[in-house]
Structure 1
């Protein structure tokens, strides 16, 4: 019979997820000694759980003996992202009905903003972003709304790994400038992409509270329509949609 923990969960399952979360928090690659230092689990237990995860393809061991997240997690993550997008579809369509512009949802995945759901505008001139597309977080509205949910050290680490390309002359190109922008986003509660990804396109985005992974939703369109008056309508609509999605993701909260 499976061993039960102090709570209502199964202890061995809790321990497996603890190790996976520790590896993830370390950037996806750790030494055994680093895991041992980060948990109270006995070393033989860590060895046993790692062997099980390796056999299932959820982690791998490199030639330098470091453990990394394995391809088995990609399948699970893809399915989970798709389900999250399906869950948010009703709210995204509601945003389009209210505001008339394209609504998107993205999550943080491998240091990038991954678009997982979209409700397109009915306008012939609209923003085109495909579901499944990845974009640098510092140059998109959803990406900055996602980064604003992280600490500055985590943001610096992501920028160090991905770099900071500047798609347009309006793009943020330094970490220090990005951190200033993120501080403003945290204070006002939403992000603005004003031609930073594509000139002539403006985007308002907001994080989804208590999502299982950093998540944001947005509305985007040409600056000729997405103006200050649009913002007055968009911000409360985004907030209501984000809160509704959060409740759907956390029904027991």
Structure 2
């Protein structure tokens, strides 16, 4: 009986590994690619995929590639909502200190998804909504997250996701993005000057020791987010990400 339980646990772990591989590939993958990465016998992969497809956690596309399934959407939404609640007090504190909108965002495939927000009290503010997905290369949270990856990993991510010019100021070449990420690593925070929303500046910092790459940002219109604001936002972000990291560790 113990052997059966062990085999069951091993099958669950392998199935979850397959889902991770599909996610890392950008959301869909061929069977041959999956086989080479998973390092499992093909019959085992077939058996696990059949189970995942039957349960709705994976699906087979018309071109016979395998993709993440619809049941994961609901799980992800609930997980993101609970994950975002951890940071709510810290985000509210940021708004109280700085007067601008604060966001928590995490990596979602090859995009970033906003999981929590504390809005600015000002009538004119950034209107990014919780649950909204955005490109990594054009957002400060995205660049703070990308800075945690190697250059080769960044190239692979943007090759899958693309680098559209969201605004006229968006970075639109890999070399320019890699140069920006080197600066992010050196100074410890990311900056977006109208690259995601025209007339909006945003500062972001990655949160250490999180289960998924995560960042916190503060954003507002250029009329208020000026050089004087920059002097206040960086130390405030540094304290906030440390607090969120500690809170997440205690909750896990």
Q: TM-score normalized by structure 2?
A: 0.88
* Aligned position for 2:11: 12
Q: Is the 8 A contact 1:82 1:116 kept in 2?
A: yes
Residue 147 of structure 1: aligned partner: 146
Partner of 2:191: 192
Q: Trace 1:57-206 onto structure 2 (pairs within 5 A).
A: 57-206=56-205
Query: Distance between the aligned counterparts of 2:81 and 2:104, measured in 1?
Result: 11
Uncovered stretches (5+) of structure 2, i.e. residues with no partner:
none
1:47 aligns to what?
46
Measure, in 2, the Cα distance between the counterparts of 1:110 and 1:36: 20
Q: Which aligned segments of 4 or more residues in structure 1 are displaced greater than 4 angstroms? A: none
**Residues 214-234 of structure 1, C-alpha deviation per residue, up to 9 Å, x if partnerless?**
221100112232223322221
Q: How many aligned positions are there? A: 250
The whole-number CA distance in structure 1 between the counterparts of 2:5 and 2:40 is 14
- Quick check: 1:59–1:71 contact (8 Å CA) kept in 2? yes
- C-alpha change, 1:42 and 1:168, in structure 2 (3 Å) is closer
Deviation track 1:121-146 (CA, whole Å, cap 9, x = no partner) reads 11223222222222222221112112
Secondary structure at 2:6's aligned position in 1? coil
What is the deviation of 1:96? 0.6
Cα distance in 1 between the residues matched to 2:32 and 2:160: 23
TM-score normalized by structure 1?
0.88
Which stretch of structure 1 is more off in the superposition, 47-56 or 104-113?
A: 104-113
CA 1:13/1:222 → structure 2, altered by over 3 Å: closer, same or farther? Answer: same
Q: What's the CA shift string for 1:168-209, capped at 9, x where partnerless?
A: 332212111111001111121110111222333211101122
After superposition, the C-alpha distances for 1:91-130 in whole angstroms (9 at most, x for unaligned) are 1101111111110112222422222211011122322222
What is the root-mean-square deviation in Å for CA atoms of aligned residues?
Answer: 2.3
In 2: Cα distance, 1:75 partner to 1:227 partner: 40
Pair 1:62–1:92, CA change in 2 (3 A): same
Counterpart Cα distance in 1 of 2:25 and 2:49:
16
Question: Residues 222 and 27 from structure 1, CA distance in 2 versus in 1: closer, same or farther, beyond 3 angstroms?
Answer: closer
Q: Distance in 1 between matches of 2:74 and 2:235?
A: 35
Q: CA deviation at 1:252?
A: 8.2
Structure 2 residue aligned with 1:31:
30
User: What is the CA–CA distance in structure 2 between the aligned matches of 1:12 and 1:167, rounded to whole Å?
Assistant: 42
- The superposition leaves residues 47-98 of structure 1 with CA deviations (integer Å, 9 ceiling, x where unpaired) of 2222211111111123443222111111111111111111111111011111
| Secondary structure, counterpart of 1:121 in structure 2 | coil
Higher alpha-carbon deviation: 125-134 or 217-226: 125-134
